[in-house]
Amino acid sequence: MYSGCCFVFALGYLTVCQITRVYIFDYGQYSADFSGPMMVITQKITGLAYEIHDGMFRKDEELTPSQRGLAVRRMPSLLEYISYTCNFMGILAGPLCSYKDYITFIEGKPAHMPQSGENGKEEVQYGRTEPSPNPAVVQKLIVCGLSLLFHLTISSLLPVEYNIDEHFQATASWPTKITYLYVSLLAARPKYYFAWTLADAINNAAGFGFRGYDRNGVARWDLVSNLRIQQIEMSTSFKMFLDNWNIQTALWLKRVCYERASFSPTIQTFILSAIWHGVYPGYYLTFLTGVLMTLSARAMRNNFRHYFIEPPQLKLFYDVITWVVTQIAISYTVVPFVLLSIKPSFMFYSSWCYCLHICGILVLLLLPVKKTPRGENPYEKAQLSRSKKFDERENYLGQNSFSTTNNICNQDQDLASRHPSLKQ
């Protein structure tokens, strides 16, 4: 109950801040003001409230493996709480991190990362030194520089608003409209790449973000990374795009909403995301459209993908087609997010005859939809095993248990690459 009250109060206060910023100060302007830090702090406050609730007021058997791994077993002190919510590394643009990961970093505990041992069994390796973050920081700063350069030189030449230009709509052919839609939204992404990669680099430079070594012994500094650019641009499904875009916010939405929703978790999660982002009508149009696109894409994938697994040539053809469809669907969905206002957003959708909305509805009506069970994937057993080991070890030491955030983000590809034994 207390976690719910905290959630309602924090989100309500954020909404008041968003209304003040939008309708009193600067409607339609992207500006750095108090609402940005408030969005990050809201994530931290609400996430920690549920983690404390899971750890102190619920039985272990009531928790999902991911909730059990992040549960906080004692009340943080005032200093710990303020340090977590207001530390300089993530106060402006994030990224969000779990309380356990942050406290592990602050207390200087060594990284005890699970790795595959003999006979496919998982072992926890102790005493391995944490590497220097400098190579990762330099690499991310280079990405920041390229993203900023692209944004300052190319993005202004390809405005998203041109999609609703009357002359363009009247004279452009459909292939031209589709191509410009994709290119203009592609040009709108580098500013997000810059901000999130810079925030990640700042955390790494401070020593935070080390996630252990992969099976080849390469250090990974992506514990709090917010995006994976290559996977975003090469996404062949709506889910793949969402899993690699604003990763930490997606994890927060999963922890506080999707896993706890008693009905329609996808719809509730998208609505919460819209409320958290702000009060522009375009946000709500984007996320409501996103619900339709996500559900229809899931239905298509479940009904047809298994026909295209073999041979490799057929799978390649399937990947190319799904990449094209995914990029168009993503671009179509997020146009209102960029346009912000409701009138230009409906102008864009009407110029496309609401074609993807209609296709999505037809898919849901005509294709059988398989209900996806929550929290029943093969990797959660491994997460449960790891969380038990860490809890036992930390309880013996009288300390908080250690968690690794990446184990709960449902990104099966990353887990499988680090733990080949899980594929069995």
> Which positions are annotated as active-site residues?
246, 277
Max Cα separation, the chain? 72
Q: Left, alpha or beta for 264 (phi > 0: left; psi -120 to 50: alpha)?
A: left
Q: Which two tokens stand for residue 38?
A: 């408030």
Q: Concatenated DSSP letters for 2-50? A: HHHHHHHHHHHHHHHHHHHIIIII-TT----STHHHHHHHHHHHHHHHH
- How far CA 113 is from CA of 162, 184, 215, in Å, comes to 49, 41, 11
Burial zone of 351 (CB within 10 Å; 0-12 exposed, 13-18 middle, 19+ buried): middle
- In whole angstroms, give the CA distance from residue 332 to residue 181: 7
- In whole angstroms, give the CA distance from residue 424 to residue 410: 17
Residue 333 CB neighbour total at 10 angstroms = 25
| Partners of 212 in the β-ladder | 220
Residue 39 CB neighbour total at 10 angstroms = 19
> What is the C-alpha R_g of the chain?
22
Cβ-Cβ contacts under 8 Å for 222 (sequence gap 6 or more): 200, 209, 211, 406
**How much of the chain is in helix, strand and coil states, percent to nearest 5?**
70, 5, 30
